[in-house]
Structures are given as C-alpha cells and as structure tokens.
Amino acid sequence: MISCELRLVPPSSLVPHEEIIPDRVNELTDLLIRWQSWTSPICIERHSRCIMDGHHRHAAALRLGLTRVPVAEFDYEEVLLGSWRPGQLFKPEEIIDCARRGALLPHKSTRHVFPPVRVAPVPLHQLVMPGAELTI
C-alpha cells in the first residue's frame, strides 16, 4: 500500500466524463452530512483534471457548496482502464476528450483500477472556506 498525498482543490476545477445517477448523489450527500467527514478522495488524471473515479462524490460536493475536495492524482500509466459494460473499451485519450468536450458517457461506462492507496478522512468543515456555511 502506498501513501498518496491528497490535494484539496475546488470541485469546480474538476472535469467529469460520465453521467451521474441523481439518487446516488442524494445518498452520498446524506452520508457526508451524517458523517461530517470525507472518507475517499476523488481520483483524477493529473494533467487534464479529468475525474477517473468519484463522479457522484464530485456532484455531492457541488450540491453541498464545498469549496475544496480531496483528490488523488494519477497518470494513466499507473491505472488499469476497463469498462463495467461488456464489449466497451476506451483509450485514455478518448475519455479525456469526452470530458473536455462535455460529451458525458453513460454512468459506469469506464472502470479505473488504482494502486492501493492509504488515505485519512478529512473533516467536512475543512472543505468549506472560513466564514462559509455548508449548503444542506
């Protein structure tokens, strides 16, 4: 297991490539409020800021009005790329292109497998600018 340095970045700076399921965003939003903690970073491609894993967490962060979210950065050389859908294969450049164009793939189109990473939860209050309030 490797230690991965988490960075706190504005969720608005991240670029999704897949659609989300609204009910799943609702569930995650409720969990974040209940736990008052962010337990799993959003995994992004280091150069494009394309979300590899964490589209629903990203949407929950935007819904809550968080000003920062924990991210772990990766290069595609470090990640195994597959699909949850039989018969679909993607190249990294295709995924990044979809993200840049805003042409979102259906949810669960891609599957990214990351090296094991050790992370610590981040208290939710650290993800809001001082003086700001969470949107609940």
Confidence (pLDDT) at 120: 84
What letter does residue 79 receive in the DSSP assignment?
A: S
The confidence band for 4, taking pLDDT boundaries of 50, 70 and 90, is low
Quick: pLDDT tens for 52-62: 999 999 999 99
- Please report which confidence band the pLDDT of residue 130 belongs to, taking 50, 70 and 90 as the band edges: low
**CA–CA distances in Å: residue 124 to residues 1, 23, 30, 38, 78:** 25, 21, 13, 6, 29
Q: Provide the residue ranges of all domains of the chain, joining segments of one domain with +.
A: 2-127
Give 3-state DSSP helix, strand, coil % of the chain, rounded to 5.
30, 25, 45
Does 20 have pLDDT greater than 60?
yes
- Whether the CB-CB separation of 11 and 62 falls below 8 Å is answered with yes
pLDDT the model gives residue 88: 85
> In whole numbers, what is the pLDDT of the chain averaged over residues?
89
80-110 pLDDT, tens per residue?
Answer: 898 888 888 899 999 999 999 999 999 989 9
Is the model's pLDDT at 37 over the cut of 90? yes
**pLDDT score of 85:** 85
From first CA to last CA, the distance across the chain in angstroms is: 35
In sequence order, the β-bridge partners of residue 9 are: 69
Q: How far is CA 42 from CA 49, 86, 87, 130, in A?
A: 10, 25, 26, 22
Q: Select 2-127's CATH number: 3.20.20.70, 3.90.1530.10, 3.20.20.20, 1.10.10.10.
A: 3.90.1530.10
